[in-house]
Chains A and B, each alone.
Chain A
Amino acid sequence: MVQLIIRRIGMMILIMLVVALLLFLINEGDPRLIARSILGPYAQDQQLNAWVIENGYDRSVIVRYFEWIGRIFSGDLGDSVIYKRPVSEIFWDRLGNTGILAGVTFVIMVLIALTLGVLAGMKEGSLQDRAISVFSIITTSIPEYASAVFLVGIFVFWLGWLPGTSSMTSGFDPVQMILPVLVLTLYGFGYIARMTRASMAEVMTTPYIRTAVLKGLPYRHIILKHALRNALIAPFTVIMLQINWLLSGVVVTEFAFGYKGFGALLLEAALRRDIFVIEACGVAAVFVAVFTQTVGDLGYTYLNPRIRFK
């Protein structure tokens, strides 16, 4: 087990280093392009060359890469070209906002998905099962940008209950969180629900559940105390992997509602070639994704006694 943990964490660090190298090569591989994006389109060749030498960009890529890694660890993310401020001043706020959005969504989505998945898998083939399956396949087919339009049409235009944007201009407002969370939840819960259903349906056919039924235990008790414990092991990995998908959805949803999170920041930076912001957002996104994936794998191994005690 310890060996496995060390191997997985080593793999995680290696992947992070390679991803960081890719991001670095794409954004800072050509020093003249950096100079161009910082000095603007009207800078002369001489000015570009002077800037490159002055800032030490004439050294080899590998040296600069390791320096850059060192700077990230010391908290220096460079200066934003657009905002003319250190990236770290903007970046952590935005990441925090996304953390709130993703965190709230994650809790609600997992609760709904597990409940529906267990309800569907409990009685495979029943009307309840079919209804839940059809509902979840429809919601997974509606991408975030489409459901955002539908929900804005219903709740903003027809009913007038909710605000249509979530830019939070006058401080944090929970009402503005409702639509983005709803959009992300609707698109994301279906996959977890399907996995939970499959796992639950499999557990329900095992002999130990049949024994419990024949023993005359109350149905509720069988589901909650016996079936759930084993049925929730497999979905655990899926749930952790879902965070990767959630980060994808966050980019689209934040753009749709004008929410000031890291996805919107990344998009803006990418469109305006704000290289240090792109790098910070890229590294953060991949770190969260790789970290949750590793936790998912290790957690699954730990939760599954057949692997744990080998």
Chain B
Amino acid sequence: MSDVPRMNAVSTPLSRLGASFAGSLRPVFLLRESPVGMIGAGIVLGFVILAIFAEFIAPFDPNATMVPFAYPGAEAPEGGIFLLGTDHLGRDILSRIIFGGQRVLFYATAATVAAYVVGILMGLAAGYFRGYLDEILSFVANVILSFPIMVLYVLIIAKVGASGINIIFAVVFASSPGIMRIVRGVTMDIATRDYIAAAQTRGEGPWYIMLMEILPNARGPLIVDFCLRMGYTTITIGALGFLGLGLPPPDPDWGGMITETRAFVSGGFPHMAILPACAVSLLVLGFNLLADGLREVSLKD
């Protein structure tokens, strides 16, 4: 009953958007009840801070070639210490991991957000309008999802070429159908609720209903899926770099660092490839734990 005055109050779309945004942050505050989720959030936050302040934290220029094949802890000629050693070209590994993290996080976030925008719009349209539109969109999704994902990435990147923007395009193409399926399912469920009928009776347009009424109420599963997908995209960007299809050199990215130096693992310099492998695993673990924590919290809710 307490909802009635609020519904009658004049609410501009903007204030409603603000309210739904604040509402969508609620599971994030609840996260402190899940230790696993807190660990994941801590790991992710750590990498985000490293990425934002990379210029100040990294001890060396990531592309400067200094002393090749230095072990962790070796002293640099112009003062300072190579905390994690250097690679075969004499570049400081710690600085490369920090700047590589900046690049990986930037492209993973940009690609995942872009995939979400496309996937959400497709899913809302398919789930709300149903009919032919749904049939067509679902069939397209089925076709794209029937590719083994890495095969699809290799085919796309080999065709359009390896660059940051093309990686974003490939991720949007490959993962928006999965997002669409989730949104479509939730939309079909929510579309039967009374408050949607009320909005329709009020004479609201379909896109207003989809974006302002349905989407905020579908946020629960989407937030969990977003974290998981950030992890997958991190893995994908690393895998493309590893296969030589990733972000162009010489700027560091973790997958590229692994593939450049993995020949030296059995030759006595395992730290060169193992350290970036640890970085990518740790960040993905962070996203997975965060998603697990959020799922746990939302089930309790």
Contacts and interface: CB of A to CB of B under 8 A. Distances in A.
Same assembly: yes
Interface in A133-167: 137-138, 140-150, 152-153, 156-158, 164
Nearest to B148: A247
Q: Which of B143, B255, B259 counts the most chain A CB atoms within 10 A?
A: B143
Contacts of A145: 238-239, 242, 255, 258-259, 277
Contacts of B245: 271
A95 to B, nearest CB: 13
A229 B123 CA distance: 36
A156 B268 CA distance: 10
A15 B145 CA distance: 10
Contacts, number: 131
A249 B142 CA distance: 21
A38 interface: no
Contacts of A26: 155, 159
Contact of B150 (A18, A251, A256, A286): A251
Contact of B151 (A138, A146, A271, A285): A285
B150 A157 contact: no
A248 B150 contact: yes
A157 B268 contact: yes
The secondary structure that dominates the A interface is: helix
B104 to A, nearest CB: 12
Contact of B146 (A19, A249, A278): A19
Nearest to A294: B146
A149 B266 contact: no
A281 B242 contact: no
A255 interface: yes
A289 interface: yes
Interface string A253-292: 0011000000100110011010000100110011011100
B65 interface: no
B266 A142 contact: no
A293 interface: yes
A18 to B, nearest CB: 5
A244 interface: yes
Contacts of B147: 19, 285-286, 289
Interface string A227-265: 000000000000000001101110110011000000100
Contacts of A147: 277
Contact of A267 (B243, B270, B278): B243
A147 B242 CA distance: 13
B123 to A, nearest CB: 20
A149 B238 CA distance: 13
B231 interface: yes
A150 B154 contact: no
B154 A267 contact: yes
Interface in A20-52: 22-23, 26
18 contacts: A19-B147, A26-B155, A137-B285, A137-B292, A138-B285, A143-B239, A143-B284, A146-B280, A152-B266, A247-B151, A255-B243, A263-B150, A278-B158, A282-B151, A285-B148, A286-B146, A289-B146, A289-B147
Interface of B: 142-143, 146-151, 154-155, 157-159, 231, 235, 238-239, 242-245, 255, 258-259, 262, 265-266, 268, 270, 273-274, 277-278, 280-281, 284-285, 288-289, 292
Chain A to chain B: the 7 pairs with minimum beta-carbon distance, closest first: A270-B158, A248-B150, A146-B277, A141-B285, A247-B148, A145-B242, A153-B270
Interface of A: 11, 15, 18-19, 22-23, 26, 137-138, 140-150, 152-153, 156-158, 164, 244-245, 247-249, 251-252, 255-256, 263, 266-267, 270-271, 273, 278, 281-282, 285-286, 288-290, 293
Given A141-B284, A149-B265, 19 more contacts: A15-B146, A145-B239, A148-B262, A149-B258, A149-B270, A149-B273, A149-B277, A157-B270, A247-B148, A247-B151, A251-B151, A255-B242, A255-B243, A256-B242, A266-B151, A270-B157, A271-B158, A286-B151, A289-B148
